[in-house]
Structure 1
Amino acid sequence: MATRLSRPRSIQNTNVGIIKQFPEQAQAATSALLCRQGVWRTWSVRLLPASRARIDLRELKSCALVCKMWYRVLHGDENSEVWRSLAARSLAEEALRTDILCNVPTYKGKVRAFQHAFSTNDCSRNVYIKKNGFTLHRNPIAQSTDGARTKIGFSEGRHAWEVWWEGPLGTVAVIGIATKRAPMQCQGYVALLGSDDQSWGWNLVDNNLLHNGEVNGSFPQCNNAPKYQIGERIRVILDMEDKTLAFERGYEFLGVAFRGLPKTCLYPAVSAVYGNTEVTLVYLGKPLDG
Structure 2
Amino acid sequence: MGLALMKALRSRLAGTPHTDPASDFRAMRVPPCLRLETILDSPAVPLQERSRHGWNPSDCSASFTVTADGLTAKRSPVAWSTDSIRGKEGFAAGLHVWEITWPAAQRGSHAVVGVSTVDGALQAPGFSALVGSDGESWGWELGRNELHHGGAKVGTYPLAGPAGSRPPLAVPDAVLVVLDADAGTLGFAVDRHYLGTAFSGLGRGKFHPSVSAVWGDCEIGIRYLNGMQRQPQPLMDLCRRVVRLSVGPERETATRSLPLPPAIKRFLLYR
TM-score, with length taken from structure 2: 0.64
Equivalent position to 1:205, from 139, 143, 152 = 143
Q: Summarize the alignment of residues 15-54 of structure 1 with structure 2, pairs less than 5 Å apart.
A: none
Q: Summarize the alignment of residues 6-85 of structure 1 with structure 2, pairs less than 5 Å apart.
A: none
Say if 2:53 is the partner of 1:116.
Answer: yes
Query: Would the aligned equivalents of 2:97 and 2:224 in 1 still touch at CA under 8 Å?
Result: yes
Equivalent position to 2:131, from 173, 185, 193 = 193
Query: Would the aligned equivalents of 1:104 and 1:110 in 2 still touch at CA under 8 Å?
Result: no
Query: Would the aligned equivalents of 2:145 and 2:169 in 1 still touch at CA under 8 Å?
Result: no
1:132 Cα deviation from its structure 2 partner: 4.2
Structure 1 119/173 Cα, relative in aligned 2: closer, same or farther at 3 Å?
Answer: same
Q: Quote the residue 2:115 is aligned against.
A: 177
Per-residue CA distance 1:204-255 (angstroms, 9 max, x = gap)? 01000000011111100135452123x2x11111001111101100121111
Query: Would the aligned equivalents of 1:124 and 1:146 in 2 still touch at CA under 8 Å?
Result: yes
Q: Quote the residue 2:88 is aligned against.
A: 151
Letter in 1 for 2:201: G
Query: Would the aligned equivalents of 1:109 and 1:284 in 2 still touch at CA under 8 Å?
Result: no
Q: Which runs of 5+ in 2 are unaligned?
A: 1-40, 229-237, 246-271
Structure 1 104/119 Cα, relative in aligned 2: closer, same or farther at 3 Å?
Answer: farther
TM-score, with length taken from structure 1: 0.60
SS of match in other structure, 1:183: coil
Letter in 1 for 2:203: P
Q: Quote the residue 2:171 is aligned against.
A: 228
1:112 Cα deviation from its structure 2 partner: 2.3
1:114 Cα deviation from its structure 2 partner: 1.2
Per-residue CA distance 1:111-156 (angstroms, 9 max, x = gap)? 2221010001111100101234211111000011011001110111
Structure 1 262/104 Cα, relative in aligned 2: closer, same or farther at 3 Å?
Answer: same
Alignment size in residue pairs: 185
Q: Quote the residue 1:57 is aligned against.
A: none
Query: Would the aligned equivalents of 2:121 and 2:134 in 1 still touch at CA under 8 Å?
Result: no
Separation in 2 of the partners of 1:245 and 1:157? 12
Letter in 1 for 2:120: A
Q: Quote the residue 2:157 is aligned against.
A: 219
Q: Quote the residue 1:258 is aligned against.
A: 199
Say if 2:224 is the partner of 1:283.
Answer: yes
Q: Which runs of 4+ in 1 moved over 6 A?
A: 287-290
Query: Would the aligned equivalents of 2:146 and 2:157 in 1 still touch at CA under 8 Å?
Result: yes
More helix by share: 1
Say if 2:193 is the partner of 1:267.
Answer: no
RMSD, aligned CA? 2.1
Higher relative contact order (CA 8 A, sep 6+): 2
SS of match in other structure, 2:46: helix
